[in-house]
């Protein structure tokens, strides 16, 4: 059974929107990181879906790269969050607001 | 063959070496410096004098002249622009002047032993370094082969005068006098600098005399005015769109600005009397051979250029005649011996300018030489008197010094007779020739006649102030205790006085024009001297130019009547002084002049109006300019920058530092972009 491409796209759009919603409404840094992961993987679903539709392997290869990138990003993100916690005893992202002019 | 020309560069370099020695040894090992630097200075200027004499003999004997580049310090683009270089021009005029300058500075160095060393002055290495640099600058200026080099050494001379006038810088007067001398002459030099640039721009060369195939600018001027304009000159005149005659006159005027400043002509003469604040030997050097002579010498050096500009010549004559008269009137009422001499210097340089303007080239050079001798003599004589009077310069405190210092008296008298122009002293022959030249050319030209008349009246005043000075200083009874028991002077004061005193009495023999007229003997040696020289830089060429280009024609007049007239006037002035001030206790007759005396004593309020020009006119103008600069020019810039600062301080509030806000803005931005693309792309 072949699933139509538009369902994949719909799923991806839904995941992306959930990710954006989480990014805009949550204050916990860990949730931020999860939201970002959701958005990245929404993009991955798109890549794989279109790759399957056109029978072209480039998109799937690309999604592997994105996964690797996401892993690296999480490593950096967790590091930042650790420092954040050490400094503020909290992982609330609205708390540190001094990094501006 | 090694000749005098090979050593010519050593003439200025010897005093320069003495300057270096005095400065370095004076700083590091003052005890090793003999007589505080006087000995190296005397040796150096003595060497310069010998070399100059050799050079003069070479120039006269072999009819060989030297005009070579010695060092090019800026090379121009080949074929398009010009080179800037130092060069030496050794011809009758420069070798003649070199001897005068070297002689005077040698004698001044010797005299300084008596005036500075024996009086126990401090800072002697600085003094002798200044004298050495002064002599160096003037000697190099005299030898300069192009006008840029001349300008550079002209400026150096001004710098040295500043150093030496302000020698006693711990007292209040000398530093301010030094600044005044520097600034007033600099005001004139500013025009000279523009003139130099104009000459280079017009002619593409600054040479005074032709060198090989290369013409100097006076020769290019002659070509341009006779219709065979060189392409470079034609190009330039085409660009600025002026008639050659007008433009050349403008250049002549600009250069004349420097001459008027340095040679202390009206209205830039005010620095010179103040310069008396310097040590007396320095005054002698400034007035006789260096500095003041530089201006007049510059006109002589480029006389081939000026001889073609009748209007500028008339102006030179008028300024000269007026200065001669005005300065002579001011000299009549001064109380201090050096002040009288200062004004007489201004007056005598006025005569030289008068001669140059009236076409009397030989008369001017002759008077320059005799004046250098008798004015150096008078200043050194005054210096001897000042030593004896323990540095009191007021003539009313002197009197009766005749018997106590006979050498000084007789030599000073010789110089005074020369200054007043009494037969047969040197000044008579030269001043008579100046006035004679002005008269014979003035008979065809009312402006020159006016200048002559002013020069002639000044003769009476000259005789008067000269003998007023002599009688008040040396005759009558001693009026103070110092004058009754004056200090003594040594050989180092008497030797220069005797040399100069002898010369002042006899040097007139080099050019006794009236005697030639009377007897037919060919004894006008100075005329013959200047008739030789580099082609087109000779007396014959100048006369030719004066007649053809400037339209000067000499009237046919025997020299006896004018000579008798000026001698009579000089004797009248001298006699008047004798009648008024003789006797043991002279009265101050000039007080009877009342308000005129006040006017003369305050120098016609020349200083006051120049100060007013500076404070009342220039300063408000400068303030307006400052307002414009600060308010409008800077204002625009400041407004723009403060606008940027203000808007920046408002816009930066977008940056909250909260990561949620940034994320929201990113999202919103993306939405907006998508909407715009959608609207433009027509998705809806």
- Tell me, what's the ipTM? 0.85
Q: What is the pLDDT of residue B120?
A: 72
How crowded is residue B79: how many other Cβ atoms within 10 Å of its Cβ? 5
Quote the crossing angle between the two packed helices B337-357 and B292-301, to the nearest 10°: 10
**Who wins on pLDDT, B113 or A13?**
A13
Give the whole-number percent of chain B exceeding pLDDT 70: 97
Contact A24 B659 (CB under 8 A): no
- Residue B89: strand pairing partners: B67
Contact B657 A32 (CB under 8 A): no
Q: What is the pLDDT of residue A97?
A: 77
Residue A14 lies in a domain: yes
Q: B428-445: per-residue pLDDT in tens?
A: 888 888 888 888 888 888
Contact B664 A24 (CB under 8 A): yes
Contact B663 A24 (CB under 8 A): yes
Quote the crossing angle between the two packed helices B231-240 and B173-203, to the nearest 10°: 110
Contact A100 B656 (CB under 8 A): yes
Residue A55 lies in a domain: yes
Residue A53 lies in a domain: yes
* Mean pLDDT calculated for residue range B367-388: 88
* Mean pLDDT calculated for residue range B71-87: 79
Say if CB B22 and CB B41 are below 8 A apart. Answer: yes
Closest chain A CA to residue B662: A24
Phi/psi at B293 (nearest 5 deg)? Answer: -70, -25
Chain B residues with CB-CB distance to A23 below 8 A:
660, 663, 667
Q: Average pLDDT over chain B, rounded to whole?
A: 84
Residue A71 lies in a domain: yes
pLDDT band for position A13 (50/70/90)?
very high
Tokens, residue A38: 């959701």
Contact A93 B658 (CB under 8 A): yes
Tokens 């505080």 belong to residue: B36
* DSSP result, B216-244: PHHHHHHHHHTT---HHHHHHHHHHT--H
Contact A99 B660 (CB under 8 A): no
* Mean pLDDT calculated for residue range B231-238: 80
What is the spatial distance between Cα B255 and Cα B252, in angstroms, rounded to a whole number?
5
Nearest CA of chain A to the CA of B670: how many Å?
A: 12
Quote the crossing angle between the two packed helices B491-506 and B406-420, to the nearest 10°: 30
Compute the CA torsion angle B610, B616, B621, B626 (nearest 10 deg): 110
Q: B453-470: per-residue pLDDT in tens?
A: 888 888 888 888 888 888
Contact B664 A98 (CB under 8 A): no
What is the spatial distance between Cα B457 and Cα B445, in angstroms, rounded to a whole number?
19
Residue A27 lies in a domain: yes
Residue A62 lies in a domain: yes
**Domain carrying residue A37:** 5-88
Contact A101 B659 (CB under 8 A): no
**Who wins on pLDDT, A21 or B40?**
A21
Q: Touching check for B74 and chain A: CB below 8 Å?
A: no
Nearest CA of chain B to the CA of A1: how many Å?
A: 33
Q: State yes or no: pLDDT of A87 exceeds 60.
A: yes
Give the whole-number percent of chain B exceeding pLDDT 90: 11
* Mean pLDDT calculated for residue range B391-409: 79
How crowded is residue B221: how many other Cβ atoms within 10 Å of its Cβ? 30
Q: B479-535: per-residue pLDDT in tens?
A: 777 777 777 777 878 888 888 888 888 888 888 777 777 777 777 778 778 887 777
Q: What is the pLDDT of residue A1?
A: 65
Give SS3 for A101: coil
Q: B588-616: per-residue pLDDT in tens?
A: 666 667 777 777 777 777 777 788 888 88
The number of domains in chain A is: 1
What is the spatial distance between Cα B221 and Cα B205, in angstroms, rounded to a whole number?
12
Q: What is the pTM of this model?
A: 0.79
- In 3D space, the residue among B437, B164, B447, B398 whose CA is nearest the CA of residue B284 turns out to be B164
Tokens, residue B554: 């000499």
Give SS3 for B549: coil
Which CATH number goes with the domain that contains A54?
A: 1.10.287.3510
Q: State yes or no: pLDDT of B16 exceeds 60.
A: yes
Chain A residues with CB-CB distance to B657 below 8 A:
96-100
Q: What is the pLDDT of residue A40?
A: 92
Q: Touching check for B667 and chain A: CB below 8 Å?
A: yes
Residue to substitute from B647, B660, B665, interface A, most A β-carbons within 10 A: B660
Q: State yes or no: pLDDT of B331 exceeds 60.
A: yes
Contact B658 A94 (CB under 8 A): yes
Q: B132-156: per-residue pLDDT in tens?
A: 999 999 999 998 888 999 999 999 9
Give SS3 for B34: helix
Contact A32 B658 (CB under 8 A): no
Q: B294-311: per-residue pLDDT in tens?
A: 889 999 988 888 888 888
What is the spatial distance between Cα B205 and Cα B146, in angstroms, rounded to a whole number?
8
Q: What is the pLDDT of residue B236?
A: 81
* Mean pLDDT calculated for residue range B311-334: 88
What is the spatial distance between Cα B223 and Cα B231, in angstroms, rounded to a whole number?
11
- In 3D space, the residue among B152, B128, B141 whose CA is nearest the CA of residue B97 turns out to be B141
Q: Contacts by B95-98 with C-beta closer than 8 Å and gap 24+?
A: B95/B52, B95/B55, B95/B56, B95/B59, B96/B56, B96/B365, B96/B369, B96/B529, B97/B142, B97/B293, B97/B297, B97/B368, B98/B11, B98/B48, B98/B52, B98/B55, B98/B56, B98/B139, B98/B142, B98/B143
pLDDT band for position B629 (50/70/90)?
very high
* Nearest CB neighbour to A20, from listed B657, B659, B667: B667
Q: Touching check for B170 and chain A: CB below 8 Å?
A: no
- In 3D space, the residue among B250, B285, B269, B249 whose CA is nearest the CA of residue B187 turns out to be B269
* Nearest CB neighbour to B657, from listed A27, A32, A97: A97
| Cα-to-chain-centroid distance, residue B164 | 15
pLDDT band for position B2 (50/70/90)?
low
Residue A16 lies in a domain: yes
Highest mean pLDDT among B496-510, B529-543, B553-567: B496-510
Q: A36-72: per-residue pLDDT in tens?
A: 999 999 999 999 999 988 888 999 999 999 999 999 9
Stretch 618-657 of chain B: residues touching chain A, C-beta under 8 Å: 652, 655-657
Residue A100 lies in a domain: no
**Who wins on pLDDT, A30 or B561?**
A30
Highest mean pLDDT among B266-275, B517-526, B534-543: B266-275
Closest chain B CA to residue A93: B659
């Amino acid at each position: 059974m072949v699933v139509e491409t538009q369902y994949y796209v719909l799923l991806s759009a839904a995941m992306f929107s959930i990710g954006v919603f989480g990014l805009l409404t949550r204050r916990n840094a860990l949730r931020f990181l999860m939201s970002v992961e959701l958005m990245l993987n929404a993009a991955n679903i798109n890549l794989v879906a279109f790759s399957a539709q056109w029978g072209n392997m480039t998109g799937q290869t690309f999604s592997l790269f994105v996964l690797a990138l996401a892993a690296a990003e999480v490593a950096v993100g967790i590091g930042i969050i650790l420092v954040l916690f050490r400094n503020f005893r909290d992982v609330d992202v609205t708390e540190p607001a001094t990094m501006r002019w | 063959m090694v000749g005098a020309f090979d050593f010519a560069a050593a003439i200025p370099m010897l005093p320069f070496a003495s300057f270096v020695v005095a400065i370095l040894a004076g700083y590091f090992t003052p005890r090793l410096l003999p007589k505080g630097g006087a000995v190296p200075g005397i040796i150096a200027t003595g060497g310069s004098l010998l070399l100059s004499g050799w050079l003069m003999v070479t120039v006269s004997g072999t009819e060989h002249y030297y005009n070579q580049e010695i060092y090019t310090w800026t090379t121009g683009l080949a074929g398009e622009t010009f080179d800037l270089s130092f060069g030496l021009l050794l011809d009758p005029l420069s070798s003649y002047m070199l001897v005068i300058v070297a002689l005077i500075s040698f004698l001044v160095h010797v005299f300084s032993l008596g005036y500075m060393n024996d009086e126990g002055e401090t800072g002697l290495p600085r003094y002798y370094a200044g004298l050495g640099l002064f002599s160096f600058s003037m000697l190099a200026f005299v030898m300069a082969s192009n006008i840029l080099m001349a300008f550079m050494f002209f400026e150096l001379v001004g710098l040295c005068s500043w150093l030496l006038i302000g020698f006693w810088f711990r007292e209040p007067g000398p530093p301010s006098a030094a600044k005044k001398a520097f600034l007033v002459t600099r005001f004139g030099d500013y025009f000279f600098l523009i003139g130099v640039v104009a000459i280079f721009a017009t002619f593409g060369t600054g040479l005074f005399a032709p060198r090989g195939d290369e013409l100097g600018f006076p020769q290019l001027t002659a070509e341009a005015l006779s219709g065979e304009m060189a392409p470079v000159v034609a190009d330039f005149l085409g660009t600025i769109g002026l008639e050659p005659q007008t433009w050349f006159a403008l250049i002549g005027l600009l250069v004349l600005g420097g001459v008027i400043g340095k040679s202390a002509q009206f209205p830039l003469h005010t620095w010179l009397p103040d310069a008396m604040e310097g040590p007396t030997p320095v005054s002698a050097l400034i007035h006789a051979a260096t500095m003041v002579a530089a201006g007049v010498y510059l006109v002589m050096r480029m006389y081939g250029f000026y001889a073609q500009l009748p209007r500028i010549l008339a102006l030179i004559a008028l300024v000269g005649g007026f200065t001669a008269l005005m300065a002579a009137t001011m000299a009549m009422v001064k109380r201090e011996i050096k002040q009288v001499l200062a004004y007489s210097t201004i007056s005598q340089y006025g005569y030289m300018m008068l001669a140059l303007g009236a076409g009397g080239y030989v008369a001017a050079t002759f008077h320059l030489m005799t004046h250098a001798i008798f004015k150096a003599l008078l200043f050194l004589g005054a210096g001897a008197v000042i030593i004896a009077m323990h540095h009191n310069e007021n003539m009313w405190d002197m009197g009766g010094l005749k018997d106590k210092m006979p050498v000084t008296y007789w030599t000073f008298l010789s110089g005074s007779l020369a200054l007043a122009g009494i037969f047969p002293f040197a000044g008579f022959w030269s001043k008579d020739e100046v006035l004679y030249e002005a008269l014979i050319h003035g008979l065809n030209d009312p402006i020159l006649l006016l200048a002559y008349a002013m020069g002639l009246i000044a003769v009476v005043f000259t005789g008067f102030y000269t003998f007023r000075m002599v009688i008040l200083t040396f005759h009558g009874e001693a009026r103070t205790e110092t004058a009754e028991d004056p200090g003594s002077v040594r050989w180092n004061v008497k030797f220069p006085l005797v040399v100069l005193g002898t010369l002042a009495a006899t040097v007139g023999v080099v050019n006794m024009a009236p005697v030639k007229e009377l007897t037919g003997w060919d004894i006008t040696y100075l005329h013959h001297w200047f008739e030789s020289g580099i082609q087109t830089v000779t007396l014959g060429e100048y006369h030719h130019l004066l007649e053809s280009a400037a339209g000067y024609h000499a009237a046919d007049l025997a020299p006896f009547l004018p000579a008798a007239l000026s001698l009579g006037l000089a004797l009248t002035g001298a006699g008047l002084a004798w009648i008024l001030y003789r006797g043991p206790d002279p009265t101050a007759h000039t007080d009877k002049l009342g308000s005129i005396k006040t006017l003369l004593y305050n120098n016609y309020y020349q200083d006051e109006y120049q100060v007013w020009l500076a404070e009342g006119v220039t300063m408000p103008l400068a303030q307006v300019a400052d307002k414009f600069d600060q308010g409008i020019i800077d204002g625009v810039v400041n407004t723009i920058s403060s606008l940027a600062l203000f808007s920046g301080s408002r816009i930066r509030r977008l940056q909250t530092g909260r990561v949620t806000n940034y994320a929201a803005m990113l999202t919103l931005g993306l939405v907006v972009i998508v909407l715009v693309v959608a609207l433009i792309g027509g998705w809806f």
